[in-house]
Amino acid sequence: MLKAKTKNISIVLYKPKYAGNIGSVARAAKNMGISNIIVVGTTGFDREEMQQRSTHLAADVLDKIQYCERLDETLGGFNYIVGTTARLGKARGPFISPRAAACDIADISQKNKIALLFGPEDTGLANEELRLCQAVVTIPTSREFTSLNLSHAVMILCYEIFTASSGAANKEEITPKLARSQELEGMYGQIKTLLADIEFLNPENPDYWMMHLRRFFARAGILSREVMIVRGICRQLEWYAHHKKT
Amino acid sequence: MLKAKTKNISIVLYKPKYAGNIGSVARAAKNMGISNIIVVGTTGFDREEMQQRSTHLAADVLDKIQYCERLDETLGGFNYIVGTTARLGKARGPFISPRAAACDIADISQKNKIALLFGPEDTGLANEELRLCQAVVTIPTSREFTSLNLSHAVMILCYEIFTASSGAANKEEITPKLARSQELEGMYGQIKTLLADIEFLNPENPDYWMMHLRRFFARAGILSREVMIVRGICRQLEWYAHHKKT
């Protein structure tokens, strides 16, 4: 997957009501590497209230906010507009998930200007605004309470775009490497010797307890550096056991 | 993937500072079907400030919040504790992504009580608290600004758990069905007849323009009901064209 070109991505807030929410949106956007915000149809928000939520670390995003009057004019220069909604009327879709949208957005952002469009806190986007969109995202929620805070909705979509680009969601890439079989077998051999030395293992059937230990270590998914720690402990125990005997 | 048993999942906020953040956490949690919140180590939060952010629709989650003094006692009854951190010190990991954690959590929640542990807004969890965790999640962010708002961090983890359970992220499940080939060919045949009738197509090579149209429709991914709309338009155009001629 290509990394999204975040300079080509803008968050467009249509008629937001609360300065605090705009500040929270700025923080969320910057956390996920997006710094273009356009506010359409409302203006005159208290700067201090915004910055209290954005924190001073995202104050640069607040400074860059563009304020526009009309939505159609604002969107005119964009190549791909992604609307967001919690209301699933038939005429409003088809809807895609934030994850599916993020994959498309990462690709499309390479050569196109993308607007992520969010509606007012109370009503969301109307059909009239959704009509301007090439894709409509709906964030999956519990049926009991579907209305997300504006900045939470922005965060989820931006997080999915960031994750799609970075491949960070990929379990394999983030999980550290497990120990190789030869490391494991060396460790098991050493444990077995130790447990035999201290007469824990039944000499008739030494592998009975060893199998339980193997299963435990396998389930835990032991790492190389953890094998080394276990072997260090075994070495020390062996030394101690022999000194006790002599 | 099994659906997470959300009644077995609790959000544990360790020493949160701001009532507003607790309210936002309650809203985010309820959006994603989680209703257990435990606040540890701080108390006396302004109810009105909390509810302003939770909205009255998540007021029931606020009512149920448990306040505890000690973290170790709070966590004592849980089977699986998931810590969260933005600081990636070597002694603090191994770290997993929210998505990988969510898959594990969905499975483990079937029979175990799970705590999702979040630290104070300013410092996050210290090594001492992370030591109590079976898994440590780090939310991928831009390197420029890694510090997430508390409720944003809660939202991302809860959203991933909800999504892992519901399979809603699966593009196939949410994207409506594309039209079948026979529907497409019927539509193309009708368009071709119409375009020949109105003498748009060159009778020597009628398929030249048709190929461009086919490519366009294919790229758009046309749905069954859209095929019907296109055919309706064609029918009407044919009727109109013939009436004009006669």
B217 — pLDDT class (breaks 50, 70, 90): confident
pLDDT at A169: 47
CA atoms of A97 and A100, how far apart (whole Å): 5
Query: Which domain does A217 fall in, by range?
Result: 181-245
Q: Which of residues 181-220 of B touch A (CB under 8 A)?
A: none
Question: Per-residue pLDDT for A172 more than 50?
Answer: no
Yes or no: say if B99 and A163 are a contact pair by the CB < 8 Å rule: yes
pLDDT at B171: 43
B135-174 confidence digits (pLDDT tens): 899 999 999 999 999 999 999 999 999 999 876 444 444 4
Residues B41 and B145 in one domain: yes
Backbone phi, then psi, for A15, in 5-degree steps? Answer: 50, 50
Task: Give the position of tokens 């969320």.
Answer: A28
Count of Cβ atoms closer than 10 Å to residue A19 Cβ: 18
B111 — pLDDT class (breaks 50, 70, 90): confident
Q: Residue A188 falls within a domain, yes or no?
A: yes
Q: List the CATH number of the domain containing B161.
A: 3.40.1280.10
Yes or no: say if B92 and B56 are a contact pair by the CB < 8 Å rule: no
Question: Per-residue pLDDT for B215 more than 90?
Answer: no
pLDDT at A90: 65
One-letter amino acid at A21 equals N
User: Mutating which of A5, A17, A174, A219 best tests the B interface, going by the most B Cβ atoms within 10 A?
Assistant: A174
B152/A31 CB distance under 8 A: yes
Mean pLDDT of B98-108: 93
Residues B79 and B112 in one domain: yes
Q: Residue A120 falls within a domain, yes or no?
A: yes
Residues A190 and A165 in one domain: no
pLDDT at B34: 97
Residues B167 and B191 in one domain: no
Residue A29 structure tokens: 């956007």
Mean pLDDT of B204-233: 81
Percent of chain A at pLDDT > 90 equals 55
B142/A32 CB distance under 8 A: yes
Set of chain B residues whose Cβ sits within 8 Å of the Cβ of A159: 139-140, 156
Yes or no: say if A4 and A105 are a contact pair by the CB < 8 Å rule: yes
Set of chain B residues whose Cβ sits within 8 Å of the Cβ of A94: 175-176, 223
pLDDT at A173: 42
The Cα of A33 is separated from the nearest Cα of chain B by a number of Å equal to 5
Q: Which of residues 156-185 of B touch A (CB under 8 A)?
A: 156, 159, 162-163, 166, 168-171, 174-176
Residues A114 and A23 in one domain: yes
Residue B184 structure tokens: 């497409």
pLDDT at B168: 47
Mean pLDDT of B53-75: 96
What is the SS3 assignment for A100? helix
Residues B140 and B34 in one domain: yes
Q: Which of residues 114-133 of B touch A (CB under 8 A)?
A: none
Q: Which residue on chain B is closest to A177 by alpha carbon?
A: B94
Single out the residue of A75, A135, A132 nearest to residue A105, CA to CA: A135
User: Mutating which of A17, A85, A97 best tests the B interface, going by the most B Cβ atoms within 10 A?
Assistant: A97
Q: What is the pTM (predicted TM-score) of this model?
A: 0.78
Is B57 in CB contact (< 8 Å) with chain A?
Answer: yes
For residue A96, give the nearest of B27, B98, B175 by CB distance: B175
Count of Cβ atoms closer than 10 Å to residue B135 Cβ: 18
B5-55 confidence digits (pLDDT tens): 999 999 999 999 999 999 999 999 999 999 999 999 999 999 999 999 999
B208 — pLDDT class (breaks 50, 70, 90): confident
Cis peptide leading into residue B120 (ω within 30°): no
Backbone phi, then psi, for A138, in 5-degree steps? Answer: -125, 130
Single out the residue of A79, A83, A80 nearest to residue A14, CA to CA: A83
Q: Give the DSSP H/E element, type plus range, for residue B59.
A: helix B59-63
Indicate the residue among A141, A170, A199 that finishes a domain: A170
A227 — pLDDT class (breaks 50, 70, 90): confident
To 5 degrees, how large is the angle CA A222–CA A226–CA A227?
80
Residues B164 and B193 in one domain: no
Q: How many domains does chain A have?
A: 2
Count of Cβ atoms closer than 10 Å to residue B75 Cβ: 21
Set of chain B residues whose Cβ sits within 8 Å of the Cβ of A97: 163, 168-171, 174
pLDDT at A91: 64
A184-212 confidence digits (pLDDT tens): 889 999 988 888 887 788 878 888 778 88
B142/A100 CB distance under 8 A: no
Percent of chain B at pLDDT > 90 equals 54
Q: Residue B1 falls within a domain, yes or no?
A: no
Residue B157 structure tokens: 């983890």
Indicate the residue among A117, A148, A170 that finishes a domain: A170
Q: List the CATH number of the domain containing B239.
A: 1.10.8.590
Count contacts between A and B (CB, < 8 Å). 133
Computed over every residue of chain B, the mean pLDDT equals: 88
DSSP state of A125: -
A113-150 confidence digits (pLDDT tens): 999 999 999 999 998 899 888 889 999 999 999 999 99
A77-119 confidence digits (pLDDT tens): 889 999 999 877 766 767 899 999 999 999 899 989 999 999 9
Set of chain A residues whose Cβ sits within 8 Å of the Cβ of B145: 27, 30-31, 57-58
More confident residue, A30 or B201: A30
Task: Give the position of tokens 């809203």.
Answer: B27
A5-27 confidence digits (pLDDT tens): 999 999 999 999 999 999 999 99
Percent of chain A at pLDDT > 70 equals 92
B205 — pLDDT class (breaks 50, 70, 90): confident
pLDDT at A245: 55
Question: Per-residue pLDDT for B126 more than 90?
Answer: yes
pLDDT at B170: 47
B176 — pLDDT class (breaks 50, 70, 90): low
